[in-house]
Structure 1
């Protein structure tokens, strides 16, 4: 059985997610944990640009900030069906999963992904009739 990811609108988010995950992994393991950034930025001879970058990177995941941004963006995208908020929730969530913010980022990422995949179906790719409800395709009758 062959899966066609582009048919279901999953290819774009998956490719973007893999790219963001690769960048986040490189930032985490290639720069931060490998010791390529200055360890002590309070020294007078510490490079200012590298210290500013390290401070911004650490502040992004301190107190799970990336995860909370993903959760808020994904939750709002789910409630409002906003495609742009869904992309923000998805990409910050993937980065948050790699950069130590996995608790809230996991929920925000899933909510955002639901909107991204669903939005593709509503753009004319699915076979929905006007006014049709999601349960109508299940062919489930009433309980009474």
Structure 2
């Protein structure tokens, strides 16, 4: 049942209206060719993969170059304006300046939290939220008090 096709295979032969002559070398080459549709598809997909890979590497190089240029201009803008060379001393000075600014911000935040009323309000809010887990609207009054004190600072 499965060894023979259910319908006989018909072979159709088309005859052209004009005479077609192929060279004997072309016919011999076609007969000897072991390349099929699958092999051609693999060659085509390999070609496309190579082109995509080349384009991606080109885009990657362009992006890295733009990033480096932008990084250099943003980090070293002070040095570029005064036409000085970049040095490790200049960079360490800049880093220490930024660290001082961060420390000042932390100190200011610590002063705000140190306020007794604000601290008590925060503790009340946290306690209420823990007591009413899943029902934060029950702590509306505490939230309003905390917000009022925080904005006053």
* TM category, shorter: under 0.3
Q: TM (normalized to structure 1)? A: 0.27
| Larger radius of gyration between Structure 1 and Structure 2 | 2
TM-score by length of 2: 0.25
